[in-house]
Chains A and B, each alone.
Chain A
Amino acid sequence: MIKVDDQKCCYCAGCVPTCPENSIFLWDTRLTIDETCITCNLCVIFCPVSALSIAEDEKKIA
């Protein structure tokens, strides 16, 4: 799963179009990522302020 650091996220929605699974939705100021995420990392690379990251427990599995 992808984690959103809400201290960093400025809800610009820029990551949304990079997602091949359409897992990301921006509810005004709240970014949500649903279970369809395949952890491809594209949104993580895109974010201008690095607000996204792969959750620690999944890193270990991968």
Chain B
Amino acid sequence: MKYDYDVIVVGAGPAGSIAAKTTAEAGLKTILLEKRQEIGTPVRCAEATGTRQEIGKFIPIDDSWINADIAAGRFISPSGHEMYKNAGHVGIMLERKIFDRALAEQAGDFGSEIQCRAAVVGLTENGVKVSSFGNEYEITGRYIIASDGVESQVARFAGIKNTMKLKDIHSCIQYLVRDIEIDEECIDIYVGNKVSPGGYVWVFPKGKRMANVGLGICTNKSKNKNAKAYLDEFMEKHFPKGKIVGMVLGAVPGSSYVKQLVKDNILFIGDAARQVNPLTGGGIFFALEAGRISGEVIAEAHRKGDNSILQNYQTIWDKEYGKLFSMYYKMRKLFLSMNDDEFDFLVQEVNKVASKYDGGTNFNKQIPEILWKAFTKNPKFMLKAGLSMFK
């Protein structure tokens, strides 16, 4: 069988673009298919991600897609207790519109073909069915990478049930707000059932007097009130004079990643595989990682002519991130069970514990440890925590 391409990548988000770059770089004939007419817009993201060093591994750092450097985080409890931590350089704020385009262009630079406004609407025996400008046609390929985001259809076409239960998904909305007082290098997180049940409010700096102000709720926990109503309330209270110059909506998985990352010659990556930190909702870094790993595994399978090697993607991912995800998933379950008094308690305790940590690039990995230390300060709470995790 002669295939049109070695690799068909469905979806030009961060995951797909890095996957396409990786396979094209390895010499595989690659095509990146994107449903939208323009890559990267509309944005569905709060745009906070890892350090310059972490992101620089995937694409040369360019200040045109960086809005701010994050050095600190502040958690605000329902009664206004604060925990503040300056940890040096912990991450960057992206301009996703430009970042996503740059990633796709990079894939192109390494030899991948790109097609916009080309939606994959089905799988065929040897490839995918594409719909573009009223035409439907088949593109054949040896390997398929499903990087089609949270709405992933490819998984469903392949017979994998990836429906998300309402308890496992965050309903999100965000405003881009101008002319407000913010700390330009600090991300603020507000927790509590009144401000954002089952999720949190974020205020992420986007430069001078400008921030992404948004929230995600678990619709199981919100009674007859949509995410927008919560955000409007928050804006009224905290930034009544802020000017809203943009709006973002979307779904963020809170479920940990799907069990099956590979089916036959199809590899699921990024949001399509729910590779999003279930507690924080951070998915950009994992999308990039999954793009790289899946691309490398395909290149190896192709080189050796052995499709069983594709399973390595699953093995590598489980080994690298399995534990981290299951821990964060358990923590999310605990968060979902907490009342506002408990949030107050937690923020105060974390404040005491966190001061002993130095922060830095390892801070992300230290967060679970810090939380555990805080939890164990209150035996009753600890018991509840324990129980909620095994439910």
Contacts and interface: CB of A to CB of B under 8 A. Distances in A.
Partners in one complex: yes
Interface of A: 10-20, 22, 25-28, 42, 45-50
A27 B152 contact: no
Contacts, number: 82
A25 B156 CA distance: 12
Nearest to A24: B151
Contact of A48 (B42, B156, B166, B172): B172
Interface in B85-142: 117, 119
Contacts of A50: 226, 228
Given A17-B162, A18-B164, A49-B173, 20 more contacts: A13-B150, A14-B169, A14-B172, A14-B249, A14-B251, A17-B169, A18-B163, A18-B169, A18-B251, A19-B163, A22-B153, A27-B35, A28-B37, A28-B119, A46-B171, A48-B172, A48-B226, A48-B250, A49-B227, A49-B249
Given A46-B251, A48-B173, A17 B164 contact: yes
A50 B227 CA distance: 9
A19 B117 CA distance: 24
Interface of B: 35-37, 42, 44, 117, 119, 149-153, 156, 162-164, 166, 169, 171-173, 219, 226-228, 247-251, 253
A17 B35 contact: no
A25 B228 contact: no
Contacts of B228: 48-50
Contacts of B250: 12-14, 48
Contacts of B152: 17
Given A12-B249, A46-B219, A17 B163 contact: yes
A45 B10 CA distance: 29
